[in-house]
Structure 1
Amino acid sequence: MSSSHTRGRRGGGGADEVLPWVIVAVFGICLVTFFGAWLGGTIGAAVSGAGWSPPEFALQSMADLVNEGPSALWPDAPVGAVICGIVLFFVLGAALIVWVVLAVRRRLSKPKGLAGRRDLTTLLPKQAAEKARSLRPSLAKSGKLDPDDTGNLLGNLEPNGPELRSSYEDVELHLMAPRSGKSTSIAAPRMLRARGAVLLTSNKADVYTVTKAERQRVGTVWTFDPQGIAHTPRTMWWDMLSEAATIEGSMRLAGHFVGAVNDDASKKDFWISAAQNTLTALFHAANRGQRQVTDLLGWLADPADRTPIDILNDAGMQALAAQLQGTIQGAVETRDGIFETARQCVACLLDPRIAAWVTPDSQVAQFSPNRHVHSKDTLYLLSKDGGGSAAGVIAAMADSVMRAGAVAAERMGGRLDPPMTAVLDEAANVCRISDLPDLYSHFGSRGINVVTLLQSYRQGSRVWGEAGMDALWSAATIKLLGAGLDDADFVEKVSKLVGEHDVSTVSISRSKDGRSRSTSYRQERVMPVDRIRALPKGTALLLATGIRPAMIRLRPWFQEPGAGHIQAAAKAETDAMTARAARGVMEQL
Structure 2
Amino acid sequence: MAALAAFGILAFTVVWAGGTFGAGLAGYGWDAPPFALSTASTLISRGPTALWPGAPAAVLYAGMFGMLALIAVPAALAVNFVLDRGKAPKGLAGKRELAAMCPAGIEARARELRPTLKGREELHPDETGNLLGDLDPKGPELRSSYEDVELDLMAPRAGKSTGIAVPRVLRAQGAVLLTSNKSDVYAVTRAQREKAGTVWTFDPQGIAHAPRAMWWNILGECHTIEGARRMAGHFVASVNDDTAKKDFWISAAQNTLTALFLAAARGRAPLTELLAWLADPADRTPIDLLREVGLVAMAEQLQGTVRGAVETRDGIYETARQTASCLLDPEILAWVTPDPELPEFRPHEHVLSTDTLYLLSKDGGGSAAGVIAGLADATMRAGVVAAERMGGRLDPPLTAVLDEAANVCRISDLPDLYSHFGSRGINVVTLLQSYRQGARVWGDVGMDALWSAATIKLLGAGLDDADFVQKISTLVGQHDVKTPSVSRSKDGTSRSYSYRQESVLPPDRIRALPKGTALLLATGVKPALIRLRPWYKEPGAAEISQAAKAETAAITARAAARLLPGQGLTLEKGNVVDLEGYRDAARA
Q: TM-score, normalised by structure 2?
A: 0.88
In structure 1, the partner of 2:151 is: 173
Confirm or deny that 1:558 pairs with 2:548.
no
Q: Which amino acid aligns with 1:541?
A: L
Whether the 8 Å contact between 1:503 and 1:522 is mirrored in structure 2 is yes
Confirm or deny that 1:454 pairs with 2:464.
no
Listed as ranges, the matches of 1:137-152 within 5 Å are: 137-152=115-130
In structure 2, the partner of 1:493 is: 471
Give 5+ residue unaligned stretches, structure 2: 568-588
Pick one of 327, 331, 342 that aligns with 1:353.
331
Task: Sort the Cα spacing of 1:96 and 1:287 in 2 relative to 1 into closer, same or farther, 3 A.
Answer: same
CA offsets, 1:53-94, max 9 Å, x none? 998875456556767889988999999999999999999999
Task: Sort the Cα spacing of 1:35 and 1:563 in 2 relative to 1 into closer, same or farther, 3 A.
Answer: farther
Measured in 1, the distance between the counterparts of 2:148 and 2:238 equals 27
Pick one of 169, 174, 183 that aligns with 2:161.
183
Q: Which amino acid aligns with 1:182?
A: K
In structure 1, the partner of 2:248 is: 270
Please state whether the residue corresponding to 1:237 is helix, strand or coil.
coil
Pick one of 553, 560, 581 that aligns with 1:582.
560
Q: Which amino acid aligns with 2:344?
A: Q
Greater Cα offset, 285-294 or 245-254: 285-294
In structure 2, the partner of 1:537 is: 515
Q: Which amino acid aligns with 1:235?
A: A
Measured in 1, the distance between the counterparts of 2:183 and 2:55 equals 65
CA offsets, 1:161-204, max 9 Å, x none? 32111110111111111111111111111111111111000111
Whether the 8 Å contact between 2:483 and 2:499 is mirrored in structure 1 is yes
Measured in 1, the distance between the counterparts of 2:77 and 2:155 equals 33
Measured in 1, the distance between the counterparts of 2:548 and 2:432 equals 24
Task: Sort the Cα spacing of 1:51 and 1:348 in 2 relative to 1 into closer, same or farther, 3 A.
Answer: farther
Confirm or deny that 1:514 pairs with 2:492.
yes
Task: Give 1:26 shift.
Answer: 2.6
Q: Which amino acid aligns with 1:566?
A: I
In structure 1, the partner of 2:419 is: 441
Greater Cα offset, 66-75 or 462-471: 66-75
Measured in 2, the distance between the counterparts of 1:53 and 1:572 equals 71
Task: Sort the Cα spacing of 1:338 and 1:506 in 2 relative to 1 into closer, same or farther, 3 A.
Answer: same
In structure 1, the partner of 2:318 is: 340
Greater Cα offset, 461-470 or 380-389: 380-389
Q: TM-score, normalised by structure 1?
A: 0.88
Task: Sort the Cα spacing of 1:277 and 1:42 in 2 relative to 1 into closer, same or farther, 3 A.
Answer: farther
Task: Sort the Cα spacing of 1:43 and 1:380 in 2 relative to 1 into closer, same or farther, 3 A.
Answer: farther
Task: Sort the Cα spacing of 1:73 and 1:263 in 2 relative to 1 into closer, same or farther, 3 A.
Answer: farther
In structure 2, the partner of 1:417 is: 395
Task: Sort the Cα spacing of 1:90 and 1:332 in 2 relative to 1 into closer, same or farther, 3 A.
Answer: farther
Q: Which amino acid aligns with 1:505?
A: T
Measured in 1, the distance between the counterparts of 2:485 and 2:257 equals 72
Confirm or deny that 1:572 pairs with 2:550.
yes
Whether the 8 Å contact between 1:266 and 1:468 is mirrored in structure 2 is no
Measured in 1, the distance between the counterparts of 2:255 and 2:452 equals 30
CA offsets, 1:22-56, max 9 Å, x none? x212323444566678899999999xxx9999988
Give 5+ residue unaligned stretches, structure 1: 1-22
Task: Sort the Cα spacing of 1:162 and 1:53 in 2 relative to 1 into closer, same or farther, 3 A.
Answer: farther
Task: Sort the Cα spacing of 1:53 and 1:538 in 2 relative to 1 into closer, same or farther, 3 A.
Answer: farther
Confirm or deny that 1:401 pairs with 2:379.
yes
Whether the 8 Å contact between 1:256 and 1:395 is mirrored in structure 2 is yes
Task: Give 1:352 shift.
Answer: 1.0
In structure 2, the partner of 1:119 is: 97
Whether the 8 Å contact between 1:265 and 1:434 is mirrored in structure 2 is no
CA offsets, 1:112-152, max 9 Å, x none? 11111111122122221222111111112222222111111
Q: Which amino acid aligns with 1:151?
A: G
Task: Sort the Cα spacing of 1:392 and 1:28 in 2 relative to 1 into closer, same or farther, 3 A.
Answer: same
In structure 1, the partner of 2:276 is: 298
Whether the 8 Å contact between 1:259 and 1:265 is mirrored in structure 2 is no
Measured in 2, the distance between the counterparts of 1:266 and 1:435 equals 15
Measured in 1, the distance between the counterparts of 2:555 and 2:253 equals 39
Q: Which amino acid aligns with 1:213?
A: A
Listed as ranges, the matches of 1:34-53 within 5 Å are: none
Task: Give 1:391 shift.
Answer: 0.7
Task: Sort the Cα spacing of 1:26 and 1:383 in 2 relative to 1 into closer, same or farther, 3 A.
Answer: same
In structure 1, the partner of 2:356 is: 378
Task: Sort the Cα spacing of 1:246 and 1:33 in 2 relative to 1 into closer, same or farther, 3 A.
Answer: same
Measured on the aligned residues, the alpha-carbon RMSD in Å equals 3.1
In structure 2, the partner of 1:3 is: none
CA offsets, 1:468-519, max 9 Å, x none? 0000000011111111111111111111111122222222212222222222
Task: Give 1:433 shift.
Answer: 0.2
Task: Give 1:425 shift.
Answer: 0.7
In structure 2, the partner of 1:12 is: none
Please state whether the residue corresponding to 2:344 is helix, strand or coil.
strand
| Percent of paired sites with the same residue | 68
Task: Sort the Cα spacing of 1:37 and 1:190 in 2 relative to 1 into closer, same or farther, 3 A.
Answer: same
Listed as ranges, the matches of 1:45-64 within 5 Å are: 59=37
Greater Cα offset, 340-349 or 502-511: 502-511
CA offsets, 1:445-464, max 9 Å, x none? 11111111111111111110
Please state whether the residue corresponding to 1:248 is helix, strand or coil.
helix
Task: Sort the Cα spacing of 1:51 and 1:586 in 2 relative to 1 into closer, same or farther, 3 A.
Answer: farther
Task: Sort the Cα spacing of 1:133 and 1:79 in 2 relative to 1 into closer, same or farther, 3 A.
Answer: closer
Pick one of 161, 167, 170 that aligns with 1:192.
170
Task: Give 1:333 shift.
Answer: 2.1
Measured in 2, the distance between the counterparts of 1:368 and 1:63 equals 89
Whether the 8 Å contact between 2:245 and 2:251 is mirrored in structure 1 is no
Measured in 1, the distance between the counterparts of 2:407 and 2:561 equals 29
In structure 2, the partner of 1:213 is: 191
Whether the 8 Å contact between 1:266 and 1:464 is mirrored in structure 2 is no
